[in-house]
């Protein structure tokens, strides 16, 4: 795990032992409970200095009670040893300022549209959402809105029961590997139903009371 230009598998990321962090899709993500704005600012200041020194810059969200940090090597398109090293430093800074890590509920939302015309539709959704087209998908570099991705109507996947609900949009809700089953249980406890677990733990297909489907996704079995 020494080549900074080598994309790591999800197993290598898990083996790094980053207790404060979880892999969510292609990112390392952490939440640090600061309890007040001044502590959050102090943590962000230390993270910023470390990022400048390493020339490797995370995405940071600062609110009154917490700091959210997302790490990824954009030039590689995934997580590398650079992210692992910086994550360890950030955890150390958080401990120094008294910020407690909280991995519960870490989530990334993508919106999927069933269509065979994704290439033609991408510029429309990029304009609508104030983003740009990247690799055929509308992407918001500022992170204000989820990425929209396109799924051909006959893409391969597990056979699913028929439904009377007409649906072309669905949520892909990305969670850490160790939270997939608990998120599924929370959905079931809230009145949802399990449509298919044929691809678990990569993803579970769930539906609300009206039959609208979404997917709970993890990085398991995707390397």
Claim to verify: residue 25 and residue 56 sit in the same structural domain: yes
The CATH number linked to 94 is 3.30.1360.20
85 occurs within a structural domain: yes
Claim to verify: residue 57 and residue 120 sit in the same structural domain: no
Question: What is the secondary structure of 30-60 as a DSSP string?
Answer: EEEE-SSHHHHHHHHHHHHHHHHHHT---EE
Claim to verify: residue 176 and residue 115 sit in the same structural domain: yes
3 occurs within a structural domain: no
> What is the count of structural domains for the chain?
2
Question: pLDDT of 3-42, one tens digit each?
Answer: 888 999 999 999 999 999 999 999 999 999 999 999 999 9
1 occurs within a structural domain: no
Q: Which residue, of 101, 122, 155, is where some domain finishes?
A: 101
pLDDT tops 70 at residue 160:
no
Claim to verify: residue 48 and residue 86 sit in the same structural domain: yes
Claim to verify: residue 133 and residue 61 sit in the same structural domain: no
**pLDDT given for residue 118 in this prediction:** 93
Task: Give the mean pLDDT of the chain.
Answer: 92
The per-type count for the chain, helices as H runs and strands as E runs, is 5, 13
For residue 181, the tally of other CB atoms under 10 A from its CB is 16
Q: How far apart are CA 218 and CA 202, in angstroms?
A: 5
83 occurs within a structural domain: yes
To the nearest whole percent, how much of the chain has pLDDT over 70?
Answer: 94
Question: 2-6, 56-60, 97-101, 217-221: which range is least confident on average?
Answer: 2-6
Claim to verify: residue 73 and residue 124 sit in the same structural domain: no
Question: pLDDT of 163-182, one tens digit each?
Answer: 666 788 999 999 999 999 99
Mean pLDDT, residues 90-104 = 97
pTM over 0.85: yes
Burial of 79 (0-12, 13-18, 19+ CB in 10 A): buried
73 occurs within a structural domain: yes
Residue 95 belongs to domain spanning: 10-101
Grade residue 152 by pLDDT with cuts at 50, 70 and 90: confident
């Amino acid at each position: 795990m020494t080549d900074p230009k080598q994309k790591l598998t999800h197993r290598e990321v898990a083996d790094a032992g980053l207790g404060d962090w979880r892999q969510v899709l292609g990112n390392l993500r952490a939440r640090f409970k600061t309890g007040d704005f001044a502590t959050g600012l102090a943590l962000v200041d230390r993270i910023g200095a470390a990022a400048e020194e390493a020339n490797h810059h995370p995405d940071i969200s600062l609110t009154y009670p917490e700091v959210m940090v997302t790490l990824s090597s954009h030039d590689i398109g995934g997580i590398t040893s650079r992210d692992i090293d910086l994550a360890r430093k950030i955890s150390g800074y958080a401990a120094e300022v008294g910020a407690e890590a909280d991995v519960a509920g870490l989530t990334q939302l993508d919106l999927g549209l069933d269509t065979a015309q994704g290439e033609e539709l991408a510029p429309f959704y990029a304009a609508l959402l104030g983003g740009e087209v990247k690799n055929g998908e509308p992407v918001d570099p500022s992170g204000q809105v989820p990425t929209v991705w396109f799924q051909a109507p006959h893409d391969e996947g597990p056979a699913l029961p028929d439904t009377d609900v007409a649906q072309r949009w669905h949520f892909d809700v990305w969670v850490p590997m160790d939270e997939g089953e608990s998120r599924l249980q929370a959905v079931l406890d809230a009145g949802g139903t399990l449509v298919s677990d044929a691809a678990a733990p990569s993803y579970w297909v769930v539906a609300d009371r009206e039959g609208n489907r979404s997917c709970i996704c993890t990085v398991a079995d995707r390397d």
